[in-house]
C-alpha cells in the first residue's frame, strides 16, 4: 500500500502546484483537505487534474475540514496518513479582517495540525509552508543577511493590527516560532520541516482566464499587474522563487531522512530587483510590447539580504532558476490564456 500524503491548501498557488508534482512524480497516494465540497470540485474539475485522472485510479481523494482554527479540526483527516504537507495559508487580501481571516488561520491552523498529528502514530514527517517574512524583522534591514534558520522574536502577541499585511507578517513570525517551541517541548514522534519561500512566480494553473490572472491576489498577479500598466501601491520584498523549484523542494524534502529532535528549515528565495522586470520583458516579448499587450508600470522593491544556499547544498544537484525564468513564465502563462480566449 502506497504511503498517504495529506495536503492542505490544494486550492492555492503553492498547494496546487505541489499536488501536481505529487501526482506526476511520486508513488504517494494523496488526500487533500478542503473547506467545502465546492473547493474540492475546484481541484478535481481543473483541466490539469482532469488530464491526469485516467492514470490516477484512486490515488487522489479529499476530506472536508470546514474550519482549521477549531481545536481537533484535523483529527479525522489525519487518520492513516504517513506524511503531511501544510501548504494552506491565508492570503492578505485588502479589505479582509486581519484578525479573523489572516492572523488566526495562520497561527491556529498549524497549532491544531501539529496537535492532531501528535495523536496519529503513522505520521513520519510534517512539512509546513512559511514565508521569508517569518525570518526577518517586519521592516527588514538589507545589511543583515538572514536564512531559513533565522528567527525574529516579537515582544508579545499583538491584540490588534493596522492592516491585513501586518497581520500576515506577524502571523508568519509567530507561526515559525511556535513550530520551534512545539518540537522542543512536545518532542513529537515525527520530524518537522519548514519550507520558506519568497514571492512565487511561474504558471498558476488554477487561473483559467487572462483577466483573472491579472486580478488575482497572488505573487504572479502582483507581477502581472506591473507589466500590464497597473502600479503597485507598495513595495514588495526583493526575493523570489520559481513555482516549479518550490514544488521540487517539497518532494525532495519529503524523502530526506531527518531527526525528530529539531526543525529542518529550507529557504527558497533568490534575490531580485523588480526594476529589472521590464528589461526582461523587453528582451523576451518585444512584439507583445509593440502590440500594447504589455505595458510598464511601477513595482518597487523592498531590499533584503536572504541566503538560500543551504537548500542547494542539502538537496544535492538542485539549483534555483533565474529571476528571468520566473518573469518569462508568468508572462507566457498570461499570453497563453489570452490566446485561448481568442
- What is the DSSP code string of 185-218? HH--SSEEEEEEE-EEES--TT--SHHHHHHSSS
**Other beta carbons less than 10 A from residue 300's beta carbon:** 15
Residue 263 has what pLDDT? 74
* Domains of the chain, first to last: 4-201+239-269+305-313 (3.40.50.720)
CB distance 149 to 136 below 8 Å: no
Q: Which residues of 248-282 are buried (b: 16+ CB within 10 A; e: fewer)?
A: bbbbbbbeeeeeeeebbbbbbbbbbebeebbebbe
Q: What is the mean pLDDT of each run of 10 residues along the chain (342 residues)?
A: 94 97 91 97 96 86 96 97 95 88 95 98 97 96 97 88 94 97 96 97 97 96 98 96 98 83 89 98 98 98 97 94 98 97 83
Q: Is the pTM of this model over 0.75?
A: yes
The cell for 191 is: 520530524
Amino acid at each position: 500500500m502506497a504511503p498517504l500524503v495529506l495536503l492542505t491548501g490544494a486550492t492555492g498557488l503553492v498547494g496546487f502546484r505541489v499536488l501536481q508534482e505529487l501526482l506526476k512524480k511520486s508513488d504517494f497516494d494523496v488526500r487533500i483537505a478542503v473547506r467545502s465540497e465546492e473547493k474540492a470540485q475546484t481541484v478535481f474539475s481543473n483541466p490539469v487534474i482532469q488530464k491526469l485522472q485516467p492514470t490516477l485510479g484512486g490515488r487522489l481523494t479529499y476530506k472536508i475540514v470546514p474550519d482549521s482554527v477549531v481545536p481537533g479540526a484535523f483529527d479525522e483527516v489525519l487518520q492513516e496518513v504517513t506524511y503531511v504537507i501544510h501548504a494552506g495559508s491565508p492570503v492578505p487580501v485588502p479589505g479582509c479582517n486581519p484578525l479573523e481571516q489572516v492572523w488566526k488561520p495562520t497561527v491556529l491552523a498549524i497549532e491544531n495540525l501539529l496537535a492532531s498529528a501528535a495523536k496519529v502514530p503513522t505520521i513520519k514527517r510534517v512539512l509546513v509552508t512559511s514565508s521569508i517574512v517569518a525570518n526577518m524583522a517586519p521592516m527588514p534591514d538589507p545589511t543583515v543577511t538572514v536564512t531559513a534558520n533565522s528567527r525574529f522574536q516579537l515582544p508579545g502577541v499583538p491584540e490588534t493590527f493596522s492592516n491585513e499585511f501586518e497581520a500576515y507578517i506577524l502571523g508568519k513570525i509567530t507561526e515559525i516560532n511556535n513550530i520551534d517551541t512545539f518540537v522542543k517541548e512536545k518532542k513529537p514522534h515525527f520530524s518537522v520541516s519548514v519550507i520558506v519561500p519568497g514571492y512565487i512566480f511561474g504558471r498558476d494553473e488554477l487561473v483559467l482566464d487572462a483577466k483573472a490572472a491579472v486580478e488575482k491576489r497572488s505573487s504572479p498577479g502582483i507581477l502581472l499587474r506591473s507589466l500590464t500598466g497597473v502600479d503597485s501601491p507598495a513595495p514588495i520584498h526583493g526575493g523570489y522563487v520559481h513555482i516549479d523549484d518550490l514544488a521540487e523542494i517539497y518532494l525532495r524534502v519529503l524523502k530526506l531522512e531527518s531527526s525528530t529532535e529539531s526543525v529542518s528549515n529550507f529557504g527558497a528565495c533568490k534575490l531580485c530587483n523588480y526594476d529589472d522586470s521590464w528589461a526582461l520583458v523587453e528582451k523576451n516579448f518585444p512584439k507583445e510590447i509593440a502590440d500594447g499587450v504589455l505595458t510598464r508600470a511601477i513595482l518597487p522593491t523592498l531590499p533584503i539580504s536572504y541566503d538560500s544556499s543551504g537548500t542547494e547544498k542539502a538537496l544535492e544537484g538542485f539549483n534555483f532558476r533565474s529571476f528571468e525564468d520566473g518573469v518569462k513564465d508568468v508572462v507566457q502563462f498570461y499570453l497563453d490564456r489570452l490566446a485561448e480566449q481568442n
